[in-house]
C-alpha cells in the first residue's frame, strides 16, 4: 500500500531545498531515539514516535528559475499514520527544528497545499 504524501508549497526563503531536506531527515532519524528531543516534541504533540519510523520527507525545488528567489520549495511528508499525523509532524516537530537550525526565514510564506499519491 502506498503511503500518501502530503505536499506543502512555500515561497523560497533563506535556505535551499537541500539544506531543509537534510535537517528534516536528521530530525526523522532522531525520532528513532525515544529519549531524543524530537521524540519528546512528537509525544507533546500527541504523536507516537514509534508510529513515525516509516516517515519520509522529500524537499525539492518547485521549479527551475533564472531568479531562484521567485521559485518555490516543495516539502513532502509521508507517514503511514495518516495526513493529520503528517501535518502535525511538520508543524510541531520538523518545522520548529528546521527553523531553529536554518533560521526563521528558512522558508517563505506557505502557498495552498497540494497532494500527490
| Residues at the site binding other proteins, with contacts judged by CB under 8 A | 14-15, 96, 99-106
Residue that has been written with the C-alpha cell 531527515 in this structure: 25
Phi then psi for 47, rounded to 5 degrees?
-100, 145
Quote the least distance from Cβ 75 to other proteins, whole Å. Answer: 18
Q: Of 105 and 115, which CB lies nearer to other proteins in the complex structure?
A: 105
Name which of 14 and 33 has its Cβ closer to other proteins. Answer: 14
Q: By C-beta, is 9 or 99 nearer to other proteins?
A: 99
- Cβ pair 12, 68 in contact under 8 A: yes
CA-to-CA distance for 83 and 99, rounded, in angstroms?
22
Smallest gap from Cβ 104 to other proteins, in A, equals 4
C-beta of 24: minimal distance to other proteins in Å? 16
Q: How far is the CB of 40 from other proteins (least distance, A)?
A: 13
Cβ nearer to other proteins, comparing 5 with 102: 102
Q: Is residue 87 helix, strand or coil?
A: helix
Cβ neighbours of residue 81 closer than 8 Å, sequence gap 6 or more:
47, 48, 51, 52
Amino acid at each position: 500500500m502506498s503511503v500518501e504524501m502530503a505536499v506543502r508549497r512555500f515561497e523560497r526563503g533563506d535556505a535551499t531545498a537541500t539544506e531543509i531536506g537534510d535537517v528534516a531527515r536528521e530530525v526523522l532519524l532522531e525520532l528513532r531515539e525515544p529519549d531524543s528531543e524530537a521524540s519528546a516534541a512528537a509525544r507533546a504533540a500527541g504523536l507516537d514516535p514509534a508510529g513515525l519510523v516509516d516517515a519520509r520527507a522529500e524537499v525539492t525545488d518547485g521549479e527551475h528559475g533564472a531568479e531562484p528567489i521567485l521559485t518555490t520549495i516543495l516539502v513532502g511528508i509521508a507517514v503511514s499514520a495518516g495526513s493529520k499525523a503528517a501535518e502535525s509532524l511538520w508543524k510541531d516537530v520538523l518545522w520548529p527544528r528546521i527553523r531553529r537550525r536554518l533560521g526563521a526565514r528558512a522558508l517563505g510564506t506557505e502557498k495552498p497545499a497540494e497532494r500527490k499519491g
